[in-house]
Structure 1
């Protein structure tokens, strides 16, 4: 009996060992199968993207019409700059500091909403679809421009303010959706050319931003407040039909994958230098927004000039921005240090701020020529800051080992958009409030001091943590000597 018991015990042990072995084998096979499935999914994404890649003709069609759409949208954004500030002042019951702040808020609220809405819209992009989001956002911007043509007929200041803020709020959401969907469509059409995508969008935005104020000033002088909004609403409507007809609805898998990133913003913002670049962007572009509500009033009060001259000033600034963007991007991609370019750009903007008034402490007379020279400096300086900021963020994230190249590009694009949106949002409120408090000349002079002080702080920080920058500066000095 004992031998039988021992045999049965051995059999049970062997059976348990066999079952354990089978269980482990099944687990290993299951794990291997899961890994195979994950690998197959990744391969399917990559291979599917290649298989579903658009033909060169279809890709170029997307490029053409998305670029045209962005140009028109940014023309609509800049359309009201030359004349709306003066028209809004006519509605103000009393010229208080609070009312000037609210006028600046009308300009700013669209960019604040854009900053808040863009991350959520990017997440919904996969479900909605890039083309559908682009078409819907373009329709909404066109509708908001048409509604804006009627606000000047409202006599009540409170109702006028409520309507303006509501329209601008919806416009901000639509603009964010337009940017996200445009970026997605172009990445899907050109999955290996993210630099081209960013370059095309920035150039289109710059051209539109240049055309908007000039066109707005001309149409306002020709037909009054409503005509600019009628015209741009109609152009957006025609463009909407072209988007529906000619932009292909099929998109590669990469058009949604590229916008996804596993890097959290908490990780990004834990890197100190990221904050430096974001502050650079906020300060760098804020001067554009600063001038939006006040430049036309300054030119009219100082030189008795019509609105078109303010539009010309914004046009000059945007042309300078667009002209410098591509050469600077080329140089930064090659060997030029992006932190050096940001410091130079901030310094140029600071000089422009002291010249545009000009500053009361400068022995210079008020002159339209000085104003336009300052606008050129603003365009060049902002281009240097904007173009070099993304490479700087990418280099910083790469040094920290945060994510894959694709994830870092998505993260850098998000941080760039956040900084630019905040800068555009803060600028108009600062312009209206500071100018109402101390005047245009002192207001721009204060901004210039802020630029110059931050340039010094940024330069010291860059030199203290970037040995490569020191070497490049030494070589530059030796080369000149």
Structure 2
């Protein structure tokens, strides 16, 4: 068998005649099946990317149930456990903007496979820390390994998102929605599977080595299915190019707010639910509802956003307003049913914001330029900015919220932080507008 014995269909999947003046697909294109339009390689590429999103994010969330217990048993603190768990997200976010800029020189295939290998090696290596008994050594080495794993995750996520944009340009809304839903499934199943494996052996080897082994098959699969192994020589697409339009700047700001709001539901929301008298199992059920509704709604929004820019923008703003205002359902005396409804609405509205925002960002960035519809550098830069925005939001807002929690009611805290973030996004967009006007006048 050769390197790849499937058809060499390298042309991006774009139906240029099916684009109207606003860049949305006409009814004729909407009736065409994504699966029918795809060649053999792309039909295999879709499940590869989707299964990769599921497995990778399942693995990254798997230590959540037992890491704190493990550190406390060794004489450590909850803060040390939190750093070990969250450092992966931080290094992933920081590295993503670098990979987004320089991916054109190494190709998405090389970046994705290298990221997967680094991610897997770090996952398996962490399991052998079970033999390290000294707390200081354990914490230092654990932070180093998880930091490197975050860099691998950053490379993988940037490359995977770029490949989706490149290969399925005319169906970005659909494939991105499904991809996001599988990421949510991974986050939901990861803690359950990780906790189960840890409870079986009560050591790090089993959960980390076994789950790391799930990622390994993705490497040869990617080597066979992915193309574009040669270096790219086209000019880079800068960070400023992605956010130069005021609309793009606001959308990126809204993504930061949404990711932060989702993180608040997971981190501060858990404490709030416990304070209302819910058990640990009921709190877990509430978080499961949020992830589940986000998963389902992401697929639904993925199909809806392709119907035109008007409905996409309306859904985005309605979801953003509803996500912020919906926090007021969490009153101090709220019933369990009301809390679960609020958690479900949080998943639904956050899905609407993110899916619509990503599709709109591509629409604004590409405009009516046919060459940009398959521009590798543009997709690479956009992927890096997108993942950075998600990571910053998920890291910063929960951190601020944890410091302010207890000084005001949960609903005022969460809605206030998200409203303040949205206001900052509007200011950011206005600054970009002024800069654009000054540039035009000069």
Cα distance change of structure 1 residues 456 and 90 upon mapping to structure 2, 3 Å threshold = same
Give 1:304 deviation, angstroms: 7.2
Counterpart in the other structure of 1:392: 360
Q: How many Å separate the matches in 2 of 1:106 and 1:191?
A: 37
| 1:416 aligns to 2:386 (yes or no) | yes
Deviation at 1:179, TM superposition (A): 1.6
Q: TM-score, normalised to structure 1's length?
A: 0.66
Hey, what does 2:59 align to over in structure 1? 76
Q: Which has the higher contact order (CA 8 A, sep 6+)?
A: 2
User: Shift of the alpha carbon at 1:386?
Assistant: 0.4
Q: What is aligned with 1:204?
A: 182
Alpha-carbon separation, structure 2, partners of 1:425 and 1:108? 8
Number of equivalences = 398
Q: Which residue of 2 aligns with 1:38?
A: none
RMSD: 4.4
- Cα deviation for residue 203 of structure 1 reads 2.9
Judge conservation of contact 2:101–2:238 (CA < 8 Å) in 1.
no
SS of corresponding position for 1:80: coil
Which blocks of at least 5 consecutive residues in structure 2 are unaligned? 1-7, 13-37, 430-442
Partner residue in 1 for 2:288:
315
> 2:54, 2:182 within 8 Å by CA — same for their partners in 1?
yes
Q: Which residue number corresponds to residue 434 of structure 1?
A: 404
Q: Distance in 2 between matches of 1:65 and 1:398?
A: 27
- Structure 1 residues 187, 381: closer, same or farther in 2, change over 3 A? closer
Q: Which residue of 2 aligns with 1:249?
A: 224
Partners of 1:108 and 1:122 in 2: CA distance: 22
Paired residues of 1:390 and 1:412 also in contact (CA < 8 A): no
| Cα distance in structure 2, aligned partners of 1:232 and 1:315 | 23
Higher CA-based Rg: 1
| 1:323, distance to aligned residue in structure 2 (A) | 0.9
* Offset of residue 379 of structure 1: 1.0
Equivalent-residue separation in structure 2 for 1:424 and 1:434 (angstroms): 16
- Matched residue, 2:95: 117
> Per-residue CA shift, 1:222-244, capped at 9, x if unaligned?
448646x7335414414413542
1:332 aligned residue (288, 305, 308): 305
User: How many angstroms does 1:194 deviate by?
Assistant: 4.4
- The answer on whether the counterparts of 2:250 and 2:426 sit within 8 Å (CA) in structure 1 is no
1:175 aligns with 2:153: yes
1:12-56 Cα shifts (integer Å, max 9, x gaps)? xxxxxxxxxxxxxxxxxxxxxxxxxxxxxxxxxxx99459xxx93
Whether contact under 8 Å (2:59, 2:211) holds in the other structure is no
Partner of 1:61: 44
Structure 1: gaps spanning 5 or more residues: 1-46, 463-481
Cα distance change, pair 154–218 in 1 and its aligned pair in 2 (3 A): same
How far the C-alpha of 1:332 sits from its partner, in A, is 2.6
More helix by share: 1
1:69-107 CA-to-partner distances (Å, cap 9, x unmatched) read 22011111222344545665677878xxxx75x655444
